[in-house]
Chain A
Amino acid sequence: MPALAVQGLRKAFRKRKGLLRRNVTEHWALKGISFAVEYGETYGLLGPNGSGKSTMIRILSTLLEPDDGTIEVLGYRLPAQEREVRERIGRVSVDAAFYKKLSAMENLLYNAYLYNFDRQTAVDRAVEILTRLGIRRNRLYEPLEEMSRGMQQKVSIARALIINPPLLLLDEPTTGLDPKSKRDVQDFLEELRRASGTTIILTTHDMGEAERLCHRIGMLAHGRLVAEGTAAELVMQAGVANLEDAFVRFAGEKLTDDETEDVTP
């Protein structure tokens, strides 16, 4: 049984317009997506803006309900068993969403209490993870707003990992990070996968990152999974020289195309 099995997933966002709000416009973010991820595997979801990556992550995070299709996460069905799923997933989003006035430690303790961890375990885990990511212990007690974007993102990773989740959802975790911070995060994720066997779903716009971290990659375009395989297989299928060219071939557009984000009402 795979760690994650998605079958025929469809999701539309509807907007009501007009004075009486009778006109309904519909935008299909996901148009019947199916894929499976094995335990311990790192699976990359690549796609241009608006392709449905973030919608997929939000559905897996239990924040959004699909219109159609089935999802099994670690043997639990969504949305019926969302509490069981919530106990077992960690998430890092593109922007580090924190109480910025609170320190890193205060944010992490709040999160740890929500997941029923005691204070000492949470402090030990936080220090261990953040030290590994290159943040000194004394900085954990500074307000988040005084930390750089890279440091905030590392704290965000610690928040996801402090509960030791079997499944990690990473939504563009290294976007906006400097090369050193990006490398720190990537090294840590590789080490995590090796040491803990954590299953990882990673969305990214960085082809190098996808090649380095992902066992397999699914390419999304306009709400559809248009190609799937290892980086080498995708390059071969597309008959091009590298993964970026393969992406352009499959997605039908360049990475820098700034299509509108997932349209949510």
Chain B
Amino acid sequence: MRETGTTLANQAWLRQIWAFIYRDHQLTKRYWSWVVVFSVYALVNSASVALIGVAAHDRRLTLTLTIGVAMWSFLSVIFNEISMSIAFERWEGTLEYTFMAPVSRLIHLAGVSIYASFYSLARLVVVLLGLLLFIDLDFRGANLPGIFVVLLVSSLACIGLGLIAAILPLMSPERGAEATNIVQGILLLVSGIYYPVSVLPKWVQPLSVVSPATYALRACRRLLGVETAQPGKILAGCSLFDVRWELIILVAMGAVFIPAGLWIFGRVEAWAKRSGKLKRTG
């Protein structure tokens, strides 16, 4: 039955969030071969990078690179799934039907974000398990629960950035998706995934300040014990309290980016309805 009334209306948003989770889960199942392809690619890419540390017989470098590729694998999938959600709808031809449903954009994007978070977490587990086939990962002394906390907190900021980037395919049916990929590429460049931010040219370094991955990686490397001033040395992973400033910055980024993303998305949607951009074809 269609459920109305105050009590049941309170549950409506839950069912609507579920609609997006249900849809994305079914699509993941139906596109399983692509999911396998992307997972294998992520694993091979991660292993290729982490093996550089193995070749150098440097456990610290191996762990530094491994946490970099793992974190990027997680955050980039969240960012990509959310920022491309509008482009995916347009490619499928369903954009108009989703946007004319009586669902607030907050509920819509929350549903998409929740599924993206679970999907990227599952992908991360697959990549990490796959890495064990290539590298003898030694996490002795690492604060693994702390790393998991950083992962969760950083996902919020990344969701916010994804929401902001999701307006690009809404603004430009032709070039929005490409622009989203450029944003993702810039995040990869400036966040210190494979190298310290300090090796970037001075004029690029300020960009790393606005990337959640910068703080997430710095915190994770300290929790692993590889972020030390002494070359080649691995210390015991620090406590969560020791990375509190990174966590505070990540929480603040989530608190700013998510509302900002929703607000900007709402403005762009209103503009798209005036200009005729809210259409299924590009």
Contact = CB atoms under 8 A, between A and B. Distances in A.
A5 B1 CA distance: 30
B57 interface: no
Contacts of B119: none
A192 interface: no
Nearest to A110: B23
B278 to A, nearest CB: 5
Interface in A54-77: 58, 61-65
Contacts of B276: 13, 64, 264-265
A93 interface: yes
Interface of B: 1-4, 12, 15-16, 18-19, 22-23, 26-27, 30-31, 92-94, 96-103, 270, 273-280
A176 B273 CA distance: 28
A97 B93 contact: yes
A64 B271 CA distance: 10
B1 A98 contact: no
Interface string A96-131: 011111100010011101111110010000000000
A153 B15 CA distance: 26
A95 B93 contact: yes
Given A97-B94, A102-B30, A265 B275 contact: yes
Interface in A143-162: 143, 159
A79 B100 CA distance: 12
Given A86-B100, A110-B19, A99 B92 contact: yes
Contacts, number: 103
Given A63-B99, A64-B273, A115 B2 contact: yes
Given A101-B31, A102-B26, A102-B27, A114 B101 contact: yes
A63 B22 contact: no
A87 interface: yes
Given A113-B19, A114-B16, A264 B30 contact: no
Contacts of A97: 92-94, 96-97, 280
Contacts of B12: 116
18 contacts: A63-B279, A87-B102, A91-B97, A98-B94, A99-B92, A101-B30, A102-B26, A109-B22, A110-B22, A110-B23, A115-B101, A116-B3, A116-B12, A117-B1, A117-B3, A264-B277, A264-B279, A265-B276
Chain A, interface size category, equals 35 or more
Given A83-B102, A113-B22, 7 more contacts: A99-B27, A101-B27, A110-B22, A114-B98, A117-B2, A264-B276, A265-B275
A141 to B, nearest CB: 12
Contacts of A159: 97
Q: Which 3 interchain pairs have the tightest Cβ spacing?
A: A113-B19, A264-B276, A101-B30
Interface of A: 13-14, 58, 61-65, 79, 83, 86-87, 89, 91, 93, 95, 97-102, 106, 109-111, 113-118, 121, 143, 159, 163-164, 264-265
B86 to A, nearest CB: 14
A100 B92 contact: yes
B107 to A, nearest CB: 9
A220 to B, nearest CB: 18
Nearest to A163: B2
B30 A111 contact: no
B103 A114 contact: yes
Contacts of A14: 275
A18 to B, nearest CB: 17
Contacts of B19: 110-111, 113-114
A44 B92 CA distance: 29
Contacts of A99: 23, 26-27, 92, 94
A98 B93 contact: yes
Contact of A93 (B16, B92, B96): B96
Contacts of B22: 109-110, 113
